[in-house]
Amino acid sequence: MTGFIGQALLYIVPFLVLLTFIVTIHELGHFLVARAFKVKIDRFSIGFGKALLSRTDRHGVEWRVGWIPLGGYVKFSGDLDASSVPDQAGLDELKSRVIAEHGPAAVKDYFHFKPVWQRALIVAAGPLSNFALALVLLTLLFSVIGERIEAPRVFQVVPGSPAAAAGFQPRDLITAINGRPVQESNEVTQTILLSANDPLTFTVERGGRTLQLTATPVRVLEESDVAGRAWVSRAGLRLSPLPQDYQFRRLNPVEAVGKGADTMVSVVSATFRYIGRIFVGKESGDMLNGPLGIAKAAGGVTKQAIAYEAPPAILMLNLLLTYLQFAAIVSIGMGIVNLLPIPVLDGGHLMFYGYEAVARRPVPARVQEVGYRVGLALLAGLMLFATWNDLQKLSLFKFLGGLA
Distances (CA, A) of 231 to 112, 160, 183, 223: 46, 18, 26, 9
Percent of the chain that is helix, strand, coil (3-state, to 5): 55, 20, 25
Residue 203 has φ and ψ, to the nearest 5°, of -95, 125
Residue 47 has φ and ψ, to the nearest 5°, of 90, 165
Strand partners, 46: 65, 72
Alpha-carbon distance of 273 to 267, in angstroms, equals 10
CB atoms within 10 A of CB 385: 14
Strand partners, 201: 214
Catalytic residue among 27, 101, 147, 222: 27
DSSP state of 345: S
| Active-site residue, 184 included | no
Residues in the chain: 404
Alpha-carbon distance of 125 to 335, in angstroms, equals 10
CB 171 within 8 A of CB 208: no
CB 342 within 8 A of CB 382: no
| Catalytic machinery residues | 27
